[in-house]
Structures are given as C-alpha cells and as structure tokens.
Structure 1
Amino acid sequence: MTNQQALIPPVIWAQRNTVVFVTICVEDCKTPNIKIEPEQIVFHGVAGLQQKVYELTIPLYAAVEPENSKTSIGGRYIEIVLQKPPSDTKYWPYLTKEKKKYHWLKVDFKKWKDEDDSEDESAAAGSVLGGDGNIDDMLSLMEGGGGGSTGSKIPNFGRDYNVPSDEDSDDEEMPDLDDIESDTAVND
C-alpha cells in the first residue's frame, strides 16, 4: 500500500422514529474498520480494485446506542443501523451536528419515512414482520431485500417476474419459419 491520501466515500442516510440508517457506498471493502461511538461514526477501509483508502468521521446530530446498533457489509456498500435511545425518538433535522451541506452526504429516499409516516409504520411493522419490528428484523430485511422468498417474513404481495408462470398470454404455438417463407412466396 502506498502513502496515498485517504478519500471520503459517498454516504446516504435515512431515519425512522427509533433508528437512523447510514449507508457507506464503497465497493469490495474486504476488512473495513467501523467504530460506532455514542456521538460519532468512524470508518476506515481499503476498497476496490485499485485498493483506494477511504476514511470518514461523522459527528452525529444526537447520541445513539452503539451496543444496540448493527452493521452489515455488502459487496457495494456498508449499512449501519444506529439505534436511538428510547428516551429520544424525535426526528433529526440533519445527520451531522453541524448544519452544513457536505458533498459526500445525501438522503436515502428509498428508506426515508417522514415523522408522520413512522407512527403508522411502527404499528404496521409488528404485523408485517411477525413480531415487534425490532432492529434485527429491519437489518435482515435490508440484507435480503424482503422480496417474499421462502424464508422471508414479508409476504409476496406482487408477482415474482423472474419465475415462469403457467398462465401465459401467448399460449398459441409459433409457426415454423418454413411455413412463413412459403406463405410469402405464394403471395408474391
């Protein structure tokens, strides 16, 4: 490894009443060093084919519970689910302490729920997840995508378009190419 300057990885975030989702977007980071502290997240890792060095310290808007927070390492990203203290479930206006716009930080609109929606979600989470909607269930849904596979806790409300169906709208057999050529020769 050379003495190259560390880069800042792209980060996206979202939140709910009880948790904050932070996704660090680095590809192929084999052994990341992630330290979740009550007031900050510290990340260091070497990633990609070029073995680029990434470092980042995020001073959090409010305190979290590191012992109840979870980390999941994927091929293209590292997902962190920060558990808010039970006494502090208000929404954060920013991920960081400073009211500053960072070029590397964006909102994850796929996971974002407004404060009003989270009340409905917490009631629905218990029924959909088959439990109390705890952080381990949320993390397992993020890893597996929650797409209605055999072991999934979320029912498959839609159809899985990757699995062939018995009911096909094109049930007629296609004519052979020889038949088509002979028909066009007769019509000419």
Structure 2
Amino acid sequence: MSLRQPAKVLWYDRAKYVFLEFCVENSRDVKVDIEEHKLIFSCLNEDNIQMYNVIELYDRVQPKDSREKRSDRSITCFLRKWKEKVAWPRLTKENHKPAWLSVDFDNWRDWDTEEEAEMALAEHYLDLINNVKDKGAPPTMDDLDDLDDDI
C-alpha cells in the first residue's frame, strides 16, 4: 500500500474568489475535483507519495467558473464564490482548522474595507486637485518675451 498524506495548503479570501495553494513541488498526476461544497485534491510528489486533501468548503462555490493552475512549486486553485462580496471567516465548513491548513498572510487583505480605502484615496486626490485650482490665476509670464530679445 502506498503512502498517502495531506498537502500543505495556504488560502486567502477575495471579493469574488477564494484562493488555495497546495504546496507540492514537482507534482505529477494532479487531479482537482471542484464541487459546489467540496474540493478534492490529489497528486504524487517528487518522492512518489500521494498527496490527498478533501476540503468541505465554508460556503458554496461555482465549479464551472473555478480553475486550477499547476507550477513547479505548487498548484493554485481559484474558487469562484457563489455569493460575491461575502467574506469567508475560514475555508472549511467545520470550525476546527486542520494542521495542514494555513492562512496566506502574504496575500491576505481585508477586501471588504478596501473599497472604503480607495474612496478615501480618491477624495484625497480630489482635495489636492481642488487646492491647486484655488491658488488663483497662474502668472502671465509676459516678461519671458524679453528673454528672447537677449538671445
């Protein structure tokens, strides 16, 4: 019987997608089955050990609009949320976190507050533009014509 173990998984949440990265270098025979409430992942690693994860998802996803991408270092899955702009507090349906699952803090953002930050930045730039406009009329620069005579 061959060895089988779960792959290390990093995940993060966005407004439209949930991203999962299965950290398996030089993977072979990759299979990703994305269902509405579950994801099943399997592959062989470079030592011929079968990596296998079954994840009961926190919320429903759209399998037809979800994808996976394999690289030499990992397999990334993009799961399209059924309900956009609804934050997932965790990846799994169950409230406990498996040992092989971690939040990808390098990519994590509080996207639900991002919109507010973008609006604040836009307002800041609008204020800057308005301040420039309020400085009065620009100088006439009539005296520059005299410089041409000196050349």
- Bin of the TM-score, shorter chain as denominator length: 0.7 to 0.9
Larger RCO, structures 1/2 (Cα 8 Å, 6+ apart): 2
Give yes or no for the alignment of 1:13 onto 2:11.
yes
- Cα RMSD for the two superposed structures: 1.9
Unaligned runs of 5+ in 2: 120-151
Indicate the residue corresponding to 2:68 in structure 1. 71
Q: What CA distance in whole angstroms lies between the structure 2 residues aligned with 1:122 and 1:78?
A: 31
Give yes or no for the alignment of 1:111 onto 2:107.
yes
Q: How far 1:88 moved relative to its partner?
A: 4.2
Q: How is 1:29-108 mapped onto 2 (pairs within 5 angstroms)?
A: 29-48=27-46, 50-85=47-82, 87-108=83-104
Q: How far 1:120 moved relative to its partner?
A: 5.8
Q: What does the per-residue CA deviation read over 1:68-104, in whole Å, with 9 as the maximum and x for residues that have no partner?
A: 011100101000011112x442101110000002110
Indicate the residue corresponding to 1:166 in structure 2. none
**Normalising to structure 1: TM-score of the pair?**
0.59
Higher alpha-carbon Rg: 2
On the 8 A contact 1:16/1:118 being kept in 2, the answer is no
On the 8 A contact 1:17/1:118 being kept in 2, the answer is no
Q: How far 1:4 moved relative to its partner?
A: 2.0
Unaligned runs of 5+ in 1: 124-188
Q: How far 1:39 moved relative to its partner?
A: 0.4
Tell me the secondary structure at the aligned position of residue 31 of structure 1: strand
Q: What CA distance in whole angstroms lies between the structure 2 residues aligned with 1:117 and 1:25?
A: 29
Is the alpha carbon distance of 1:88 and 1:106 closer, same or farther for their aligned partners in structure 2, counting shifts above 3 Å?
same
Stretches (4+) displaced over 6 A: none
Q: How far 1:112 moved relative to its partner?
A: 0.9
On the 8 A contact 2:85/2:112 being kept in 1, the answer is no
On the 8 A contact 2:42/2:52 being kept in 1, the answer is yes
Tell me the secondary structure at the aligned position of residue 11 of structure 1: strand
Paired residues, what number?
A: 119
Tell me which protein shows more strand as a share of its residues: 2
Indicate the residue corresponding to 1:126 in structure 2. none
Q: Which amino acid aligns with 1:52?
A: I
